[in-house]
Amino acid sequence: MNRRKNILIIFLLILQVVSVCIFYNIDKIKLMQEGLRYQLFNMNYSISFQTIDSDVNFDIDINKLDSNIHKIIYENDGCTIMIDSIIKENDKYIIYFSSHGTYNQQFGKLITGVEHKILPNKKIEDKIYTSCFIDDIECQNYSFSGLNFKDGDEFSFIIDAKILESVKKVTLKNLLLIKMKKIQG
């Protein structure tokens, strides 16, 4: 009987130690699960937005659409934007981009075409921020997402096939740098 009581006490002590460890590491666990989204929602992080001054220019290989997939069109300080896919529908191309940033417990950053803002009711408002051009012709935004990856998001544009096939050079303007920094205190 005494042995069972000792085993139960040891089990409860181990359970208490594990619970304390989880409690003190909950930020690490949530960050591992949710990534940048956790930092954006967490009031312990300050958030800043900055427009990237330089345009991103890249070519599209119309003859081999698959060769454009996963092509990195922007890379800076651990953040990348790549072509996720290109679909031709009738007389239009839809180009999908994915943005990937970096994060750790103290800091997170993402360079993207989508603005993610926290509203007073703690909901996120996502809206397209960047513009896409072929020569001086602005392309229509097709879609964008919230922070649906741990490290980023997606956005896309519709491009007229005749224009893209004649020019083949695409420009993204006004990319957005989103920084999250842990508030000390």
Tens digits of per-residue pLDDT, 32-43? Answer: 778 888 888 787
Sign of the torsion formed by the C-alpha atoms of 65, 66, 67 and 71: positive
Report the alpha-carbon distance of residue 72 to residue 30 in Å, rounded. Answer: 29
Q: Give me the pLDDT at residue 109, please.
A: 95
Predicted confidence (pLDDT) per residue in 74-99, tens digit: 999 899 999 999 999 999 999 999 99
Q: What is the pLDDT of residue 26?
A: 64
Domains of the chain: which residue ranges? 35-182
Residue 114, pLDDT score: 95
Point out the residues of the chain with pLDDT beneath 70: 1, 17, 19-27, 185
Across the chain, which distance is largest between two alpha carbons, in Å? 86
Query: pTM for this one?
Result: 0.83
> What CA–CA distance (Å, rounded) separates 73 from 55?
11
